[in-house]
Amino acid sequence: MRAKLEQQHEAGFGWAMACCRWDRDEAMEVLQASYLKVLDGKARFDGRSEFRTWLFGVIRRTAMESRRRRTVRDIALKNWFTGNPAPAANPTPEKVHETAEVHQRLRNLLQQLSERQRDLLHLVFYQDMTIEQAASVLGINLGTARTHYARGKAQLKRLLIESGETSWERMTMTTSG
């Protein structure tokens, strides 16, 4: 595994730079964290794709995790400096109930999609896969996956509007809190 990582180091670093918006220090940290995931067995290559493709996916996900952590930290620091209270660690019972209702409505709407559309949307949105990776998981060609993905999103949007939800933002704002 180390030899394969060494072979892909230069290309991997270039990809890490792109994923980290060309911030060299951040890219070095992301690449190091990616290598640790691989060497510690937290990220396992199963041979379903080329090693390079798989490694680039690990680097991309690690960069996204790093960006999320940094964003949360920056918001917390900003709130601390400005005196704004941090959001409650434990949501109120009302918020828990509201979030559960939204999730249930969304699950009900997803059940109205075809199985393939539902599976593709789940893999892309909840499992953070690309459409190509999801196609590989489902054993379908990429063109078919793209078609079902686009149709699934359009159908879900139509169902949201018909159910009285007038925008995606409302659903995501309710579920993110």
Residues 71 and 7 in one domain: yes
The pLDDT tens digits of the residues spanning 146-170 come to 999 999 999 988 988 888 764 444 4
Residues 37 and 77 in one domain: yes
**Number of domains composing the chain:** 2
Of residues 52, 48, 63, 65, the one with CA closest to residue 11: 52
Query: What does the pLDDT read at residue 37?
Result: 95
Query: What does the pLDDT read at residue 93?
Result: 84
Indicate the residue among 82, 113, 148 that finishes a domain.
Answer: 82
Residues 168 and 97 in one domain: yes
Q: What is the span of the domain harbouring residue 62? A: 2-82
CATH number, position 71: 1.10.1740
Query: What does the pLDDT read at residue 98?
Result: 82
Residues 52 and 125 in one domain: no
Residues 8 and 74 in one domain: yes
Residues 124 and 67 in one domain: no
Task: Report which listed range, 15-24, 27-36, 42-51, 137-146, is most confident.
Answer: 27-36
pLDDT at residue 115 tops 90:
no
Residues 6+ apart with CB under 8 A from 81: none
Rounded Cα gap, residues 17 and 164, in angstroms: 43
Query: What does the pLDDT read at residue 173?
Result: 41
pLDDT at residue 135 tops 60:
yes
Rounded Cα gap, residues 110 and 121, in angstroms: 9
- The reply to whether the predicted model has a pTM over 0.95 is no
Indicate the residue among 31, 54, 82 that finishes a domain.
Answer: 82
Dihedral sign, Cα of residue 121, residue 127, residue 133, residue 136? negative
Residues 112 and 65 in one domain: no
Query: What does the pLDDT read at residue 107?
Result: 79
As a whole number, the mean pLDDT across the chain is 84
Residues 127 and 56 in one domain: no
Q: Which residue has the higher pLDDT, 27 or 81?
A: 27
Indicate the residue among 82, 101, 120 that finishes a domain.
Answer: 82
Query: What does the pLDDT read at residue 88?
Result: 59
